[in-house]
Amino acid sequence: MRNSAFETIVGALVVAVAGVFLWFALARGGEAATRSDQYEVTARFNNVSGLARGSDVRIAGVKAGIVKAIDGDPQRFEAVVTLSLDTKWVLPDDTDARVSTDGLLGGAYVALEPGGGMDNIAQDGKGEILFTRGSVDLLTLFASFASGSGGSDADADAEPALDPLDDLEGVEP
């Protein structure tokens, strides 16, 4: 009897701890509102394979925010990604966004490359990144190299580039 009471108490403790973890996961993983030190921008991509809600948004390799939502636009046939960025990152309006991966098998993230524009993207939740590049499908890339359209054969048939110094022959210094 004493042994089964101990097992019952341990079992109840395990169930209670699991319940706390479940509550924490549901509370933190839900659709949270943007914090006051963050703002939202949208970006449209032709391909977001591997990208998921909660993925990192990085600038120069530094985490600058997260992917808040991924939706589809049935009129333009594009993926609309909502990014939640820290307010310390003020992005120029010519910022480039691309879906990138950590190595061959790593997770996908959005890499932002700020441009040199004088105007900034609005931080009122209506800002949009206009210049985007979707993810690269590695199988298609490998297939293009295997089929011979990798570019090496085309370069061999091209005419050699002209040397700009050839025009200066016969000209005295």
Average pLDDT over the chain, rounded to whole? Answer: 80
Q: Each residue of 62-101: pLDDT tens digit?
A: 999 999 999 999 999 999 999 999 989 889 989 999 998 8
* d(C-alpha 100, C-alpha 58), whole Å: 10
Q: Which of 62-76, 96-110, 147-161 has the lowest mean pLDDT?
A: 147-161
Residues of the chain above pLDDT 90, percent = 31
SS3 of 38, please?
Answer: strand
* d(C-alpha 8, C-alpha 100), whole Å: 50
What pTM did the predictor assign? 0.62
Q: How many CB atoms lie within 10 A of CB 94?
A: 16
- Name residue 114's amino acid: P
Mean pLDDT calculated for residue range 91-119: 86
Per-residue confidence band for 127, with pLDDT thresholds at 50, 70 and 90: confident
β strands within 10-130, DSSP E? 38-45, 56-59, 62-73, 78-86, 96-101, 108-113, 127-129
More confident residue, 28 or 110: 110
Per-residue confidence band for 27, with pLDDT thresholds at 50, 70 and 90: confident
Q: Which residue has the tokens 């509370």?
A: 27
